[in-house]
Amino acid sequence: MNQGMRLTGRAALLAASALASVVVLGPIIWALSTSLKSDNHIFAVPPRLIPDEPTLMHFQRLVAEGVQWSFLNSAFYTVVSVAFAVAVGGTAGYALVRYPVPAKRALLVLFMGVMSIPSYALLLPTQVIFVRLGIFDTRLALPILYAAHVIPFAVWMTRAHFATVPRELEQAALVDGYSRFEAVWKVIIPGARPALIAAAAFGFLYAWNDYITATTMVESPDLRTLPVALIFFQGFHGRDWGALMAGVVIATLPPIVLFLVYRRYLIGGFSEGSVKG
């Protein structure tokens, strides 16, 4: 009896999980399917999940429109800002654990407080400042803003991690005749790997997926990011759902692959932070 109830409960749980997975993944798979159908199959009734004659015409269409340049812009902004943020934030996180930094507590409050300021409310004054400084609509605008958003996260994730790595390990490396630089390169950075990966993956998702910063800080077509280019494309070809879904697929593939590869670090980074914080 009890056993039976247990099995029923288990079956219900699996059924609910399967339903949730369909609701979550279904739309994404549908977009992929649409992107591979030719125009006269897209509106077929009843709808078909597997394209009859799969075609890459929508992807070719996007390439003809020059979307690959926006893709490269997005990649450039993302890589530059993440590399900078992880280097600067990781260094600060390390120093906050290992060195007697003046006003340490105030600095920690600063980094924590900045994380809770929604960056959106700062965009308008930032835009006015960037226009006056001549940074508006340049290749510098977005890396600066993305890096500044990611740095506090990198500080917090690496700081929490360095606090758990015994400093004896580094001292042993120095005693063994490693130079300071060698100790950093061979002992400290490998030791902080999970935190650095978590911070970098978070930074990648933030920078790559942003639309609102990119659309307000950059105007020139040749500086556009991929999401901005897609919204412009939609403005001109709003009914070209095949090409639009091809754009959705191109914009979504890199972050989803990154998430699947580094999910352990990302989930670990956020769950550790919430349990300890």
Partner 1 sequence: MVSVPASGTTPFTRSIEDAARAGRRVGTTLVGPAVLVVIAVNILPAFFGFYSSLRKIFFFGDEGFAGLDNFRSLFADPLTWEAIGRSLIFTFGALALAVPLALLAALAVRELGARGRILLTILLVPWAMSPIVVALLWKWILLPSPGGLFASILATFGMPPANLLSNPTWAMPTVIAVAVWRTFAFAAIILTAGLGQIPKDLYKAAAVDGLTAMERFSRITVPLLAPSILIVLSMLTISYFNEVQVIIGLTSGGPIHSTTTLAYQLYLTGFVELDQGRGNAIAVVMFLINLVLIVGYVQLLGNKKGGEG
Kindly state whether residue 272 participates in binding partner 1, applying the rule CB under 8 A: yes
Smallest distance, partner 1 to C-beta of residue 66, A: 19
Question: Of residues 202-261, which lie at the interface with partner 1 (CB under 8 A)?
Answer: 205, 208-212, 215-216, 227, 230-231, 234, 241, 244-245, 247-248, 251-252, 255-256, 258-260
Smallest distance, partner 1 to C-beta of residue 20, A: 6
Contacts of residue 251, Cβ cutoff 8 Å, sequence gap at least 6: 226, 227, 230
Kindly state whether residue 63 participates in binding partner 1, applying the rule CB under 8 A: no
Kindly state whether residue 169 participates in binding partner 1, applying the rule CB under 8 A: no
Smallest distance, partner 1 to C-beta of residue 268, A: 9
* Placement of tokens 């959106």 in the chain: 120
Nearer residue to partner 1 within complex by CB, 55 or 209: 209
Q: Which of 4, 46, 177, 235 binds partner 1 (CB under 8 A)?
A: 46
Smallest distance, partner 1 to C-beta of residue 251, A: 5
Smallest distance, partner 1 to C-beta of residue 39, A: 11
- Span of 51-59, 65-73, 165-173, 189-197 interacting with partner 1 by CB under 8 A: 165-173
Q: Which of 38, 55, 68, 91 binds partner 1 (CB under 8 A)?
A: 91
- Span of 40-48, 54-62, 63-71, 191-199 interacting with partner 1 by CB under 8 A: 40-48
**CB–CB of 146/83 below 8 Å?**
no
Question: Of residues 99-158, which lie at the interface with partner 1 (CB under 8 A)?
Answer: 99-102, 107, 110-111, 114, 116-129, 131-132, 144-145, 147-148, 151-152, 155
Report the distance separating Cα 277 and Cα 27, nearest Å.
Answer: 35
Nearer residue to partner 1 within complex by CB, 57 or 184: 184
